[in-house]
Amino acid sequence: MYGEDQTLGTTEMGEATRRDFLYIATGAVGAVGVGALAWPFINQMNPDASALALASVEVDVSNVAEGQQIKVMWRGKPLFIRNRTDKEVEEANAVDVADLPDGLARNLNLAEDAPATDKNRAAGADGSEKLIIMVGVCTHLGCIPLGEAGDFDGWFCPCHGSHYDTAGRIRKGPAPENLLIPPYEYTSETVVKIG
């Protein structure tokens, strides 16, 4: 025992022994086991099929009459799509951006620093300002504002008193930002893909 080579795992020639193989095989099986155990926890963080289906939505806006608003669900949030009247567009254009509590357009289709003009918030396929598409969630605490209400005949959040104008810009109340304009593109003259 005292005269033998005390090196474990290799012979005097430096070749691998059965013990080395067992160490490597045990480590490999352990790594596969940890991976198999961790996979369900990692996979549950991926969005489910219903969330992926709502990642984008197509809406035919030709059915939205002038002065009418429809609500569509997108990513679990309501979208307000409104075909505004000429009077509503005129009222929105008459507002000086410098007088707004939030001077940014909050339009995900434009640069972050785009001003909150009515044109920068409108979504008409032909460049008109009549159609507007917004995420219908109050920027204060996430309530759903009421349409054609409030001091500016736009949207009103009765929970805490936020008033938005006909372009969805905050005008009065605790909400810090304008209603968000989601990413969108027209797939035809009357169909808009949101998301």
Q: Number of C-alpha atoms within 13 angstroms, CB side, residue 146?
A: 12
Residue 149: CB atoms within 10 Å: 15
Q: Which of 47, 160, 176, 189 is catalytic?
A: 160
Q: What is the full DSSP assignment across 77-140?
A: EEEEEEE--HHHHHHHHTS-GGGSS--B--BTTS-TT-B--HHHH---TTS-SSEEEEE-S-TT
User: Rounded CA gap, 178 and 176, in Å?
Assistant: 7
Is residue 160 annotated as part of the catalytic site, yes or no?
yes
Contact 121, 105 (CB under 8 A): yes
Contact 123, 131 (CB under 8 A): yes
| Buried-exposed string 10-29: b where 16+ CB fall within 10 A, e elsewhere | eeeeeeeeeeeeeeeeeeee
Catalytic residues: 160
